[in-house]
Amino acid sequence: MRLLDDEALQRSSVVANNAMNRERGLDGVNSYARDLGFHPLDRLRPQLVEHGSAAWLDLCCGQGRALAQAARQAPDGLALVGVDLVDHFDPQAAGVDGLTLVTGSVSQWQPGRTFDLITCVHGLHYVGDKLGVLARALTWLSPGGMFAAHLDVASIRLADGTPATRLVRRLLRDAGVDYDARRRIVTRTGPAVLDLPLEYAGADDRAGPNYTGQPAVDSYYRPLRTGTRPDPVPPPRRAVAVDDRGVRVEHDGSVFDVAWHDVHRASVSRLVVEVAGIDHLELTVDLVYGHHLTIPDSDDGFAAAVAEFARRSGRAEPDLAHLRAGLDDIELWQQDA
Stretch that binds ligand SAM, among 42-50, 78-86, 167-175, 254-262 (CB under 6 A): 78-86
Strands (E), 35-131: 54-59, 78-84, 99-103, 115-120
- Which is nearest to 218 in space by CA: 65, 74, 4, 42? 4
| Per-state percent for the chain, helix, strand, coil, to nearest 5 | 25, 35, 40
Out of 36, 85, 99, 305, the residue judged to bind ligand SAM by CB under 6 A: 85
- Asked if 264 is part of the footprint of ligand SAM (rule: CB under 6 A), the reply reads no
State the minimum distance, in angstroms, from the CB of residue 112 to ligand SAM.
18
Separation CA 188–CA 168 (nearest Å): 15
Separation CA 172–CA 140 (nearest Å): 17
- Asked if 23 is part of the footprint of ligand SAM (rule: CB under 6 A), the reply reads yes
Out of 4, 43, 62, 218, the residue judged to bind ligand SAM by CB under 6 A: 62
Separation CA 70–CA 293 (nearest Å): 36
Residue 20 or 167: which CB sits closer to ligand SAM? 20
- Asked if 60 is part of the footprint of ligand SAM (rule: CB under 6 A), the reply reads yes
State the minimum distance, in angstroms, from the CB of residue 332 to ligand SAM.
32
Residue 120 or 285: which CB sits closer to ligand SAM? 120
State the minimum distance, in angstroms, from the CB of residue 232 to ligand SAM.
43
Start-end of H helices in 255-334: 302-313
Separation CA 337–CA 333 (nearest Å): 12
Q: Which of residues 114-153 bind ligand SAM (CB under 6 A)?
A: 121-123, 126-127
R_g of the chain computed on alpha carbons: 21
Binding mask 273-292 for ligand SAM (x = CB under 6 A): --------------------
Out of 4, 12, 14, 20, the residue judged to bind ligand SAM by CB under 6 A: 20
State the minimum distance, in angstroms, from the CB of residue 138 to ligand SAM.
17
Residue 25 or 301: which CB sits closer to ligand SAM? 25
Residue 64 or 223: which CB sits closer to ligand SAM? 64
Q: Which residues of 151-166 are buried (b: 16+ CB within 10 A; e: fewer)?
A: bbbbbbbbbeebbbbb
Start-end of H helices in the chain: 6-11, 32-36, 40-51, 65-73, 130-138, 165-174, 302-313
State the minimum distance, in angstroms, from the CB of residue 198 to ligand SAM.
19
- Asked if 22 is part of the footprint of ligand SAM (rule: CB under 6 A), the reply reads yes
State the minimum distance, in angstroms, from the CB of residue 293 to ligand SAM.
31
State the minimum distance, in angstroms, from the CB of residue 229 to ligand SAM.
37
Helix or strand holding residue 185 (H, E) = strand 185-189
State the minimum distance, in angstroms, from the CB of residue 264 to ligand SAM.
24
Task: Evaluate whether 328 touches 269 at the Cβ level (below 8 Å).
Answer: yes
Residue 334's DSSP bridge partners are 265
Residue 22 or 166: which CB sits closer to ligand SAM? 22
Q: Which residues of 62-89 are buried (b: 16+ CB within 10 A; e: fewer)?
A: bbbbbbbbbbeebeeebbbbbbbbbeeb
Stretch that binds ligand SAM, among 80-88, 179-187, 282-290, 328-336 (CB under 6 A): 80-88
Binding site for ligand SAM (CB under 6 A): 15, 20-24, 60-62, 83-86, 105-107, 121-123, 126-127
